[in-house]
A and B are shown apart, each in its own frame.
Chain A
Amino acid sequence: MKKVLMINQSWCKGCGICAAFCPKGALEIVDDKVQRKEGTECILCGQCELRCPDYAIYIDENEGDTDQWAKSY
């Protein structure tokens, strides 16, 4: 089972909470939407998921086609 970071931008309100509390600085807000920051590492700690008020970012466990998700983060 592989863990992946998922972002649902349509629910993101760009508050920046996830980015501010990410221990790795792996997120940034661009045009009021969160995205992964180029050249950083995500350690899948889930801190962002815990504090996102809009459930727009989360860690998923993907059993099947891991590649698709792995690519996407």
Chain B
Amino acid sequence: MTVDTGDVSVKTKNMSNLIYKYMRPEHLPQIWCPGCGNGIIMRDIAQAIENLGLSRNSTVIVSGIGCSARAAGYMDFNTIHTTHGRAIAFATGIKLANPSLEVIVVTGDGDISAIGGNHLIHAARRNIGLTVVVMNNNIYGMTGGQYSPTTPTGAFGTTAPYGNLDRSFDIAGLAYGAGASYAARGSAYHVQQTTTLIQEGIKHRGFSIIDVASICPTYYGRKNKKGSAVDMLKWQRDNSVTVDQAAKMSQEELKGKLVIGLLHQVNYPEFTYAYDQLIRRLFEEREENE
């Protein structure tokens, strides 16, 4: 009934064209758990890049540390797996050194909003042309299920055994508040919408962030009795509302809902572009004076 390709060497194409083109099949399948949402989101990124026709050679994937951050190693681009929380700061250097590169940061909720929160808000404020894709699973996956800045109040983690007392961050909202010129929210379930949001984020000139609700069945799911990976995706399907729908809903009605779509987009000069303009101005002034 099925094509069981067994342990086929990487030369044999036992995967879709998209995966063959944009992933490093010799490293697949990923170390991620069965049903982990990260694989779905990583595919969304590849699809967005395919839709835009970006060159792999001039695209850079930067990640920090976490389950999510392992994405960099699987993707066939210039990839750099950096230190916990610092992906945006590394990416800033890469973009500044060579603005013609398309720089995409792949990160987790802990990576970007706890240890890396400072870099997030400042890159947003600076409006440097990075695209940040957050695989937001509401927990620290890699270290085994501790609560993260996006764990809802009352939810459980290994370090929140009696329920989380903290209030949680809305990462897209946080970035928007800090000056991000493009902020969107997607989910693992909403593949096509999320792909489009990532695609538009990459196209956007300036700092863009796409906060994608992922699923971590292993820790978040188990600790919070959310069921299987399938159950968690069904929850996303059944509890999401679009930005337009949300606009017509009351705060009360929006409780516990996932608002999906483009939250904010403005045009504002991109940082490396502005810097290049500055250099040009200095050169011109010098020529005039000579």
> CB-nearest residue of chain A relative to B43?
A55
Which residue from A14, A36, A58 sits with its C-beta under 8 Å from B1? A36
> CB-nearest residue of chain A relative to B32?
A53
Interface string of B8-40 (1 = CB under 8 A from A): 100000111101000100001110111111111
User: Bound state CA distance, A10 and B229, in angstroms?
Assistant: 20
Interface string of A24-49 (1 = CB under 8 A from B): 00000000001110100000000001
> CB-nearest residue of chain A relative to B44?
A50
User: Bound state CA distance, A35 and B6, in angstroms?
Assistant: 14
Residue pair A52, B2 in contact (C-beta under 8 Å): no
A-B interface pairs (CB < 8 A), number: 103
Chain A interface size range: 20 to 34
Residue pair B15, A58 in contact (C-beta under 8 Å): yes
Q: Name the distance in Å between B210's Cβ and chain A's nearest Cβ.
A: 17
Across the interface, which residues of A come within 8 angstroms of B4, CB to CB? 7, 9-10
Q: Does A72 contact B (CB under 8 A)?
A: yes
Counting chain B CB atoms within 10 Å of each CB, the highest count among A50, A52, A59 belongs to A50
Q: Does B7 contact A (CB under 8 A)?
A: yes
Residue pair B34, A14 in contact (C-beta under 8 Å): yes
Q: Which parts of B98-122 form the interface with A (CB within 8 Å)? A: none
Decide: A51 near B40, CB < 8 A? Known: A9-B2, A58-B15.
Answer: yes
Decide: A50 near B23, CB < 8 A? Known: A9-B5, A10-B7.
Answer: no
Across the interface, which residues of A come within 8 angstroms of B14, CB to CB? 6, 8, 10-11
Decide: A11 near B192, CB < 8 A? Known: A17-B35, A53-B40, A55-B43.
Answer: no
Q: Which parts of B20-70 form the interface with A (CB within 8 Å)? A: 23, 28-30, 32-40, 43
Chain B interface size range: 35 or more
Q: Name the distance in Å between A21's Cβ and chain B's nearest Cβ.
A: 7
Residue pair B15, A50 in contact (C-beta under 8 Å): no
> CB-nearest residue of chain A relative to B34?
A13
Residue pair A16, B2 in contact (C-beta under 8 Å): no
Residue pair B39, A10 in contact (C-beta under 8 Å): no
Decide: A10 near B6, CB < 8 A? Known: A15-B230, A20-B230, A20-B234.
Answer: yes
Q: Name the distance in Å between B7's Cβ and chain A's nearest Cβ.
A: 6
Across the interface, which residues of B come within 8 angstroms of A11, CB to CB? 14-15, 28-29
User: Bound state CA distance, A60 and B5, in angstroms?
Assistant: 14
Residue pair A54, B230 in contact (C-beta under 8 Å): no
Q: Name the distance in Å between A31's Cβ and chain B's nearest Cβ.
A: 12
> CB-nearest residue of chain B relative to A53?
B39
User: Bound state CA distance, A13 and B30, in angstroms?
Assistant: 10
User: Bound state CA distance, A52 and B228, in angstroms?
Assistant: 14
Decide: A55 near B8, CB < 8 A? Known: A7-B3, A8-B3, A16-B230.
Answer: no
> CB-nearest residue of chain B relative to A27?
B2
User: Bound state CA distance, A14 and B233, in angstroms?
Assistant: 15
Binding site for B on A (CB under 8 A): 6-11, 13-17, 20-21, 34-36, 38, 49-56, 58-60, 69, 72-73
Known: A11-B28, A56-B29, A58-B16. 19 other contacts (CB 8 A): A6-B16, A8-B8, A8-B14, A8-B15, A13-B29, A13-B33, A13-B34, A15-B34, A15-B217, A20-B230, A50-B192, A51-B40, A53-B32, A53-B36, A53-B229, A55-B39, A60-B16, A69-B3, A73-B3
